């Protein structure tokens, strides 16, 4: 009766096997290959791979464009993650207070997420044009018309804080998603708890500060992870708004430039490996934590 | 339970069938290596911008008339100077799925493809079509690598052109276009002080690279400029220092919003009366005078004028768009038919007036080239003209060197430090591997 036993797991395995094979090949296989290239001395298309003992990982820091790329990615990540979290939580808070036509507001705030960065980037590139008043377009023109000329600035073309401006489109795009996460969280907090707090004389602010938000820690954490890894590997938004210019250079763009423009596969793979490690530092603890949470349930 | 069993089985069937179908299509794609396939030709270029797209269309129409059985597939990818297209191309070549023919700047830019064995030498093609005698000898010399020719030039562009708005120059009290870098800086200053216009319009980072090659040529002179691109060249000389200081000075008169615009936006500022000067290759001419929607419909002499970039009179800083024959092109015969079209007199005479360039062939129909192009045609064919290769447009720097200079210029745009720029250029030359 061996046959009967195999009937239990075989269909499931067959059903899953295409995706197991695909993931094995295209995710783990390619991660392996990428690491292998990163450890090689293949700095052009024709040379042999060889083994470089991680020399690329050290040499990369001597590349003139690399420290700036790391700094840009950090500024972008900080502004984007904090901005999207705060804005998303605030929107969810407003929704939770019971707004008329909540459903349509929810859709409006979620909509930007459905637009691709490439498409919205073209619009934002125009909105964030730093031209002076006589040729101003976009936000700078708006500020000028509203007699708020002092607010006009150089947006993403500022050498030091440009990446903070670059985070604005990303915040706009992802805060609706954060809002949806928080809104679901707010709704899952039993009304009785809030009532109890109010009876004890807590102000509305204190109800949220001490009763609702502490219960939303898992949601904040997942939002943080999702936003964090999006921002570390941001590429399409930068390419749509600025293209491959040093002022907005980030690691993902650097990977592209090294491989396709400089024809240096080893350097490109090295940067990609750094990116993978940076994302893994964020995601793996989260995975461990959530798997543990599921088990204990 | 009994009712669910058949459904499961069907799902398994579906999954297996789908996996099988996927495997089949994966096998099918690589089946035909038919080198004599002439049923179609996929032509890969970055000609999507105003002017150049029209030229490609005109050449395509002529090609389809001459080759009725061949389907023309236009695989053009947008982006000035081909920055995006080259990345797509690189991955296609790596996957051994090359287009039938792709555009590349003639010269050192093709070196990586040649060294990787990704494109075929075309000496036989040149012989069969008697091309060695119809192209200028110096051009043939420049595009020959280790005794072999790897691409078919369709046009010649000039990099060192200064476009200016005569009205603004008049307002600024400038009587003639500047003939040296020093005069240029004086003129920029005059525009800034006497008018409210932008002295020199500039676009995204690569247009600063383009400006740099023009300042280097203008300051150093043709011979010293050409020497910079020879193996072991010295970039640390005081002459280069002076040129880079001039470059830094010139950059102070450029547009604040440069990084937000490609070359079209920067060039348009001149004919629209917003900027006095722009240094851009002569592809801008086709864009200025072409009709809407792809051109601006402006008039030479009233809306704009041109001169050789400051300090470069008598030198033609050239670049050339050319087409190649990738190894194992899926429709090799189609590709050869396309190469024949781009090398033909008719093809070049259809393409070039629209693109705003001159034919690479010597025997083209001179009467088709009017306005700026008449002048360019005469200069290119003049016996006294000196030639310099455009580094940014692929003539004399390989991809690594090219990208490293671009990075150096990008960093300079941030820190405005000419000394650091020179250091970076010195090490870029050392690391180029040429």
Give domain status of residue A242, yes or no: yes
Two tokens, residue B47 = 């000609």
Number of other residues whose CB lies within 10 A of the CB of residue A25 = 10
Which residues on B lie below 8 Å from A256 (Cβ)? 87
- Closest CB to B90 among A15, A18, A260: A260
CATH number at residue A239: 1.10.3720.10
The predicted structure's pLDDT at residue A218: 86
The predicted structure's pLDDT at residue B81: 63
- SS3 for B91? helix
Q: Do domains B40-156+320-389 and B161-317+393-430 have the same CATH topology?
A: yes
Residue percentage of chain B with pLDDT more than 70: 91
Distance from CA of A134 to the nearest CA of B (A): 9
- Closest CB to A262 among B259, B399, B411: B399
Q: Which tens digit of pLDDT belongs to each residue from A60-105? A: 999 999 999 999 999 999 999 999 999 999 999 888 887 788 888 8
Q: Where are the alpha helices (DSSP H) in B29-122?
A: 52-66, 83-94, 111-115
Q: Report d(CA B347, CA A209) in Å as an integer.
A: 74
Average pLDDT over residues B180-191: 97
Which residues on B lie below 8 Å from A261 (Cβ)? 83, 86-87, 399, 402-403, 406
Average pLDDT over residues B260-286: 92
Q: What is the DSSP string of B240-296?
A: HHHHHHHHHHHHTTB-TTGGG--HHHHHHHHHTTSEEEEE--THHHHHHHSPTTTS-
B400–A243: do the CB atoms touch at under 8 Å? no
The predicted structure's pLDDT at residue B332: 93
The predicted structure's pLDDT at residue B16: 46
Give domain status of residue A51, yes or no: no
Cβ-Cβ contacts under 8 Å for B352 (sequence gap 6 or more): B55, B154, B155, B358, B359, B364, B368, B369, B373
Two tokens, residue B397 = 């720097």
Among B314, B317, B136, which residue's Cα sits nearest to residue B225?
B317
Distance from CA of B381 to the nearest CA of A (A): 34
Among B269, B289, B265, which residue's Cα sits nearest to residue B277?
B269
- Across chain B, mean pLDDT equals 88
Q: Report d(CA B190, CA B138) in Å as an integer.
A: 40
Give domain status of residue A13, yes or no: no
Q: Which tens digit of pLDDT belongs to each residue from A226-242? A: 899 899 989 999 999 99
Cβ-Cβ contacts under 8 Å for B48 (sequence gap 6 or more): B76, B77, B78, B79
B12–A244: do the CB atoms touch at under 8 Å? no
Tokens 């129409």 belong to B61
Chain B residues bordering chain A (beta-carbon distance below 8 Å): 8-9, 11-12, 15-16, 18-19, 22, 83, 86-87, 90-91, 112, 115-116, 196, 198, 204-205, 255-257, 259-260, 274, 399-400, 402-404, 406-408, 410-411, 413-415, 424, 433
- Indicate whether B412 pLDDT > 80: yes
B424–A18: do the CB atoms touch at under 8 Å? no
Q: Is A169 on the interface with B (CB under 8 A)?
A: no
Give domain status of residue A283, yes or no: no
Q: Which tens digit of pLDDT belongs to each residue from B225-236? A: 989 998 889 999
Domain boundaries, given as residue ranges, for chain B: 40-156+320-389, 161-317+393-430
The predicted structure's pLDDT at residue B321: 93
- Indicate whether B148 pLDDT > 70: yes
The predicted structure's pLDDT at residue B1: 35
CB B432 within 8 Å of CB B398: yes
φ, ψ for residue B397, nearest 5 deg: -125, 135
Give domain status of residue A265, yes or no: no
The predicted structure's pLDDT at residue B324: 95
B256–A154: do the CB atoms touch at under 8 Å? yes
A245–B87: do the CB atoms touch at under 8 Å? no
The predicted structure's pLDDT at residue A2: 57
A159–B414: do the CB atoms touch at under 8 Å? yes
Segments in chain A below pLDDT 50? none
CB A177 within 8 Å of CB A113: yes
What is the second-level CATH architecture of the domain B161-317+393-430? 3-Layer(aba) Sandwich (3.40)
- Indicate whether B101 pLDDT > 80: yes
Element (H, E) at B187: helix B181-194
Q: Which tens digit of pLDDT belongs to each residue from A40-59? A: 998 887 788 888 888 999 99
Average pLDDT over residues B156-173: 96
The predicted structure's pLDDT at residue A81: 95
A15–B12: do the CB atoms touch at under 8 Å? yes
Number of other residues whose CB lies within 10 A of the CB of residue B365 = 12
The predicted structure's pLDDT at residue B427: 94
- Across chain A, mean pLDDT equals 89
The predicted structure's pLDDT at residue A297: 59
Q: Is A6 on the interface with B (CB under 8 A)?
A: no
The count of domains in chain A is 1
Tell me the C-alpha to C-alpha distance, in Å, between residue B301 and each of A281, B68, B150, B161, B289. 62, 43, 40, 15, 11
Give domain status of residue A125, yes or no: yes
- Closest CB to A15 among B11, B403, B433: B11
A249–B16: do the CB atoms touch at under 8 Å? no
Which residues on A lie below 8 Å from B413 (Cβ)? 245-247
The predicted structure's pLDDT at residue B383: 84
Question: Judged by CB atoms within 8 Å, which residues 33-92 of A form the interface with B?
Answer: 44-46, 64-65, 68
The predicted structure's pLDDT at residue B295: 82
Give domain status of residue A50, yes or no: no
Q: Report d(CA B53, CA B409) in Å as an integer.
A: 29
The predicted structure's pLDDT at residue A169: 95
Pick among B260, B262, B266 to test the A interface (most A CBs inside 10 A): B260
Domain B40-156+320-389 has CATH 3.40.630.10: no
Tell me the C-alpha to C-alpha distance, in Å, between residue B108 and each of A54, B218, B230, B391. 31, 22, 12, 9
The predicted structure's pLDDT at residue A285: 84
Range of the domain at A120: 66-248
Q: Which tens digit of pLDDT belongs to each residue from B6-46? A: 444 444 444 444 444 444 444 433 434 446 888 999 999 99
Give domain status of residue A204, yes or no: yes
The predicted structure's pLDDT at residue B345: 94
Q: What is the DSSP string of A222-255?
A: HHHHHHHHHHHT--HHHHHHT-S-GGG--HHHHH
Two tokens, residue B191 = 């525009």
Average pLDDT over residues B362-387: 90
The predicted structure's pLDDT at residue B15: 46
Average pLDDT over residues B317-335: 93
The predicted structure's pLDDT at residue A286: 82
ipTM of the assembly? Answer: 0.86
């Amino acid at each position: 009766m061996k046959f009967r036993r195999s009937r239990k797991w075989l269909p499931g395995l067959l059903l899953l096997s295409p995706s197991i094979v695909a993931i094995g090949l295209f995710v783990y296989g390619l991660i392996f290959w990428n690491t292998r290239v990163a450890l090689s001395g293949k700095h052009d298309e024709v040379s042999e791979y060889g083994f470089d003992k991680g020399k690329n990982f050290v040499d990369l820091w001597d590349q003139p464009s690399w420290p700036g790329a790391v700094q840009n990615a950090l500024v972008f990540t900080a502004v984007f993650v904090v901005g999207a979290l705060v804005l998303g939580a605030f929107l969810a808070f407003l929704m939770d207070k019971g707004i008329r036509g909540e459903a349509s507001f929810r859709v409006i705030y979620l909509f930007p997420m459905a637009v691709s960065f490439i498409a919205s980037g073209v619009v934002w590139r125009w909105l964030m044009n730093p031209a002076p008043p006589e040729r101003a377009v976009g936000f700078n023109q708006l500020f000028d018309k509203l007699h708020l000329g002092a607010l006009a600035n150089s947006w993403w073309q500022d050498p030091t804080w440009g990446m903070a401006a670059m985070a604005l489109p990303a915040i706009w795009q992802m805060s609706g998603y954060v809002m949806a996460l928080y809104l679901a969280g707010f709704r899952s907090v039993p009304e009785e708890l809030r009532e109890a707090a109010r009876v004890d004389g807590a102000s509305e602010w204190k109800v949220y500060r001490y009763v609702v938000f502490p219960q939303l820690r898992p949601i904040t954490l997942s939002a943080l992870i999702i936003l964090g890894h999006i921002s570390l590997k941001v590429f399409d938004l930068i390419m749509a708004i600025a293209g491959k210019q040093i002022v907005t250079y980030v690691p993902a763009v650097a990977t592209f430039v090294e491989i396709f423009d400089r024809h240096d596969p080893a350097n490109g793979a090295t940067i990609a490996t750094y990116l993978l490690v940076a994302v893994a530092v964020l995601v793996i603890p989260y995975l461990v934590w959530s798997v543990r949470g599921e088990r204990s349930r | 339970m009994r009712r669910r069993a058949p459904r499961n089985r069907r799902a398994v069937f579906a999954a297996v069938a789908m996996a099988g179908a996927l495997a089949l299509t994966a096998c099918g794609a690589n089946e035909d290596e038919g080198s004599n396939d002439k049923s179609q030709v996929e032509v890969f270029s970055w000609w999507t911008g105003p002017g150049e797209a029209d030229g490609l269309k005109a050449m395509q129409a002529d090609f389809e008339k001459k080759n009725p059985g061949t389907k023309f597939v236009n695989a053009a990818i947008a982006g000035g100077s081909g920055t995006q297209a080259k990345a797509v191309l690189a991955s296609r070549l790596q996957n051994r799925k090359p287009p039938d023919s792709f555009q590349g700047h003639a010269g050192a830019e093709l070196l990586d493809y040649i060294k990787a064995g990704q494109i075929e030498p075309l000496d036989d093609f040149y012989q069969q079509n008697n091309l060695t005698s119809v192209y200028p000898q110096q051009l043939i010399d420049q595009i020959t690598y280790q005794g072999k020719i790897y691409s078919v030039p369709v046009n010649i562009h000039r990099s060192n052109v200064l476009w200016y708005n005569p009205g603004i120059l008049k307002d600024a009290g400038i009587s003639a276009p500047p003939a040296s870098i020093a005069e240029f800086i004086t003129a920029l200053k005059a525009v800034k002080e006497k008018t409210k216009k932008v002295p020199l319009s500039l676009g995204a980072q690569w247009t600063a690279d383009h400006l740099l090659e023009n300042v280097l040529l203008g300051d150093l002179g043709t011979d010293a400029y050409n020497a910079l691109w020879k193996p072991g060249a010295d970039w640390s000389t005081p002459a280069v220092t002076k040129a880079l200081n001039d470059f830094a000075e010139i950059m102070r008169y450029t547009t604040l919003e440069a990084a937000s615009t490609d070359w079209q936006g920067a060039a348009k500022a001149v004919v629209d009366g917003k900027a006095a000067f722009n240094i851009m290759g002569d592809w801008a001419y086709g864009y200025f005078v072409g009709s809407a929607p792809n051109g601006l419909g402006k008039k030479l002499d009233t809306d704009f004028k041109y001169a050789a970039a400051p300090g470069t009179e008598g030198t033609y800083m050239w670049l050339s768009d050319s087409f190649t024959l990738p190894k194992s092109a899926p429709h090799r015969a189609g590709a050869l038919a396309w190469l024949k079209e781009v090398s033909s007199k008719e093809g070049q005479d259809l393409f070039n007036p629209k693109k705003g360039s001159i034919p690479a062939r010597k025997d083209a129909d001179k009467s088709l080239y009017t306005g700026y192009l008449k002048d360019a045609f005469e200069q290119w064919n003049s016996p006294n003209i000196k030639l310099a290769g455009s580094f940014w447009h692929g003539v004399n720097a390989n991809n690594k060197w090219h990208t490293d200079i671009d990075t150096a210029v990008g960093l300079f745009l941030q820190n405005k430090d000419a000394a650091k720029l020179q250091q970076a250029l010195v090490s870029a030359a050392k690391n180029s591997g040429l």
